Structure 1
Amino acid sequence: MSPTGVLEPTGPNRALGGTRWLDHFLSTPVSAPVERPRALRDRDGYDRRPNPLHARTTAEFLLTMRRYVVWTGDWSYRELEYLCGGAVKSTTFQEVLEGDQLPRYVFLMAFVTACAGEDEAERQRWVTAWRRLRAS
């Protein structure tokens, strides 16, 4: 049996015989949303959420990003990649968050999606701070 007879991209694999479950599994589209734990809010008067609007320099902005990752769940770089739907790779998260350059807009959106989900208010806070730093 040749290797090409084992994995046929054009249809059900007849070479393995009795593997309908595998063919079904491989042909099933993956459309399930990313499951994320619900973020708990701090108690009233104890809000410790890092605010990107307080950052005045790129270094402060990156420090706020690192603190925000810890505040939202202390995610690993691989978990951040998963939570943003793979839009940014774990190595890129590591390079940017441990670097000294202001991130690009696409990275920022993936970062906020990974940490806060689809929270529009959080997106606005981060984009406003990012734009202010880009303009200066």
Structure 2
Amino acid sequence: MTPTGVLEPTGPNRALNGTGWLDRLLSTPVVTPVERSRPLRDIDGYEHRPNPLHARTAAGFLLTMRRYVVWAGDWSYRELEYLCGGAVKHTTFRQVLEGDRLPRYVFLMAFVTACAGEDEAERRRWVAAWQRLRLTAD
């Protein structure tokens, strides 16, 4: 009996004909991974890096996040998904960064990881600003 003759409760298993989705996926060429450029350095005496501590509202915080993405490398939403290890999907990056509500903590950590890598000082700076806004919003 051939694989195409295998019966299922709904009839012949047509998924076994020809190449399946897994074969097509495995034969797809691998996309070159996104490479994080070297950390950006501002010119001495000038601070161009957006500072989340200056934000006074959720809208200001989100504006700072959007500016930070541009400053860090002008990543696309898909590149941000890749850079955070897939912890947040590109659609979620789009929804949050184009929205008007303060993001959740998990999103914030994925965002900072995608933009700044494993920089602990940067992570603390963003969390401090986020916590201050959360306390004032309640």
TM superposition score normalised by structure 1: 0.76
Query: 1:109: which partner in 2?
Result: 109
Distance of 2:112 and 2:34 partners within structure 1? 14
Q: Is the 8 A contact 1:34 1:85 kept in 2?
A: no
Query: 1:100: which partner in 2?
Result: 100
Matched AA of 1:65 = M
Report deviation, 1:45: 1.1
Distance of 1:130 and 1:39 partners within structure 2? 23
- Any gaps of 5 or more consecutive residues in structure 2? 5-15, 21-25, 27-32
Report deviation, 1:43: 1.6
Query: 1:70: which partner in 2?
Result: 70
Query: 1:26: which partner in 2?
Result: none
The count of corresponding residues between Structure 1 and Structure 2 is: 113
Distance of 1:131 and 1:65 partners within structure 2? 15
Structure 1 residue ranges, 4+ long, deviating more than 6 angstroms after superposition = none
Q: Is the 8 A contact 1:81 1:87 kept in 2?
A: yes
Matched AA of 2:38 = R
Q: Which has the larger radius of gyration?
A: 2
Question: How do 1:13-24 residues align onto structure 2 when only pairs under 5 Å count?
Answer: none
Query: 1:14: which partner in 2?
Result: none
- Any gaps of 5 or more consecutive residues in structure 1? 8-21, 23-32
* 1:42 aligned onto 2:42: yes
Question: How do 1:125-136 residues align onto structure 2 when only pairs under 5 Å count?
Answer: 125-136=125-136
RMSD: 2.2
Distance of 1:89 and 1:39 partners within structure 2? 24
Matched AA of 1:103 = P
Matched AA of 1:133 = L
Report deviation, 1:47: 2.0
Alpha carbons of 1:34 and 1:119: their partners in 2 closer, same or farther (altered >3 Å)?
Answer: farther
TM superposition score normalised by structure 2: 0.75
Query: 1:87: which partner in 2?
Result: 87
